[in-house]
Each structure stands twice: as C-alpha cells, then as structure tokens.
Structure 1
C-alpha cells in the first residue's frame, strides 16, 4: 500500500527534527511546506504523464448559437470571441478556426451579432463600395502589370 503525502511529509519532517532540534511551531510550519511541495511535485508529474486531450468542450458546429458563441477551448459563452481571449489559450483567430474546422471567413461571434453587422453594412452601402474598391484594384493591377514586364 502506497504512503499518502501526509505520511511522506511527516517522515521527512521527522528525519529533519532528529538531526536539527525544532520547536513545535517549526515542525508544523515545516510539515505544511513539505506537504505543499510534495503535492505540487505530484501534480506536475501527473500533468506531464497524462497527455492533454485537445477535445473541444462541445461539437464545433453547435458552438455558434443565435445569441452566444461558446469558446471550444474553455466553454465560456460570449457575444464574440475576442483575439485577447484566444490569446489566453495561446491561439490566434486563424489557428482557432483551423483547429476546429471553421472556414477562414467564419465570424467568431453569435449569429445575431453577425446578422446585425451585415445589415448595418448593407445600409451604409458597404457591399457596393467594396465591389467598387475591388474593381478599381483590378484595373490598377492590370495597368501596372503591362508596363512592368516590358523591356526597354
């Protein structure tokens, strides 16, 4: 039968007390310190031995709901998963999307927030302005590529 951490700590402190005389307070203090040290060592050993499962807290397809999005790393609910929150898990938005199989264009926010943003953008004429900007960029690129490849 294995010894408990308390028994191991008591044995260590007992050995210390036999070599160096200790007051009752010193014994109690030493026992607490040794126990906490042994406990932290055991916890560190267990976490190294057991491979961390990268299993999401829920099905990624079900994590984006009408009014909330659930972080698949920790299970917290948000209106939008911020880059700062993802950073706390050591991820970027791009890495998070890739890890859980979301498309690169998938907004990391609740459906209602995404719809509200889309509607607001359309009301401001954003899609039309975007089309114009893309077209202008294409025309600018076509003009630049013809002159850049010509030799003297």
Structure 2
C-alpha cells in the first residue's frame, strides 16, 4: 500500500486555495476598500499557514497608519492611527483593543510627546467644568 505524502507544492497550493476561499467569503459579506485587499489576503494567508504548521516568514513591513498623523487631530475628535476610528479620548480604546499605553502609541507611530490623547474641544470643556466646580483652588479658611 502506498502512503500519500503531501509535497510542499501540493501543501502550498492547498494553502492558496484556502486563502482564496476565506477571502472571497469575507469580502462577499463585508465592505473592504480595494487598497486593503492585499493586506487582507496576506493576513489570511499567514494565519492559515500558522494553523497548518507551514508558517512563512513574517513580513517585516512597518504597519501603515489608518490616516495621516498630521490630519488625525481635529477640534472635536482624534482619529486612531491603528484603525481610523474617531474618539474624544483615545487612552481607553488603545489599552482595551491594542494593549498600548499612550507613550507606546506615540513611540510606535513616531509622534511627539505633546501629541494629545484627548480632542482639544473635549479637553477645554472638561477644564471649564473642573474650574466651575472649584477644582485646583486652595480652600479658604484653613
């Protein structure tokens, strides 16, 4: 009796076919920008390769920000460079979804230490509220 041994090319063909099936199914049910399609294919291929035990060398490409960092700070919101979502405050989002502190986030994207984690208008509103409540003033009569 002859055992069937999968050769590397046969294994690679199966991996490519599985990748195509998974990507096709995902794209048919989810809106994916054309520019993100190559990244999606590469991610699915790498993930399936790891599962099958034939992981290829990870691509050492530097992750690209979802938006231009210079255009990520607006008066009423800040755009997360990881996923392109808008927030008044980024700190909790970064920790819960990416396990990043504000300093790690700034370092990862090459941002200045003064890069805000809170939208400017939101920071101003919170500041006004704190001042109105009397926070930051010394008590009289003590």
Q: TM-score, normalised by structure 2?
A: 0.51
* Alignment size in residue pairs: 100
Q: Which residue of 1 aligns with 2:92?
A: 83
Quick check: 1:65–1:111 contact (8 Å CA) kept in 2? yes
2:49 corresponds, among 34, 41, 54, to: 41
1:66 to 2:68 alignment: no
1:128 to 2:134 alignment: no
Quick check: 1:86–1:92 contact (8 Å CA) kept in 2? yes
Partner Cα distance (1:76, 1:8) in 2: 33
Partner Cα distance (2:136, 2:122) in 1: 18
Quick one: structure 1 residues 96 and 6, their matched pair in 2 at CA, closer, same or farther if it must change by over 3 Å?
closer
Quick check: 2:77–2:88 contact (8 Å CA) kept in 1? yes
Unaligned runs of 5+ in 2: 1-8, 19-46
Partner Cα distance (1:51, 1:103) in 2: 26
Report runs of 4+ in structure 1 exceeding 6 Å deviation: 6-9
Q: CA RMSD in A?
A: 3.8
Q: TM-score, normalised by structure 1?
A: 0.48
Quick one: structure 1 residues 7 and 61, their matched pair in 2 at CA, closer, same or farther if it must change by over 3 Å?
closer
Unaligned runs of 5+ in 1: 10-38, 133-152
How far is 1:88 from its partner? 2.3
Quick check: 1:83–1:93 contact (8 Å CA) kept in 2? no
Instruction: Mark the structure with the bigger radius of gyration.
Output: 1
Quick check: 2:15–2:49 contact (8 Å CA) kept in 1? no
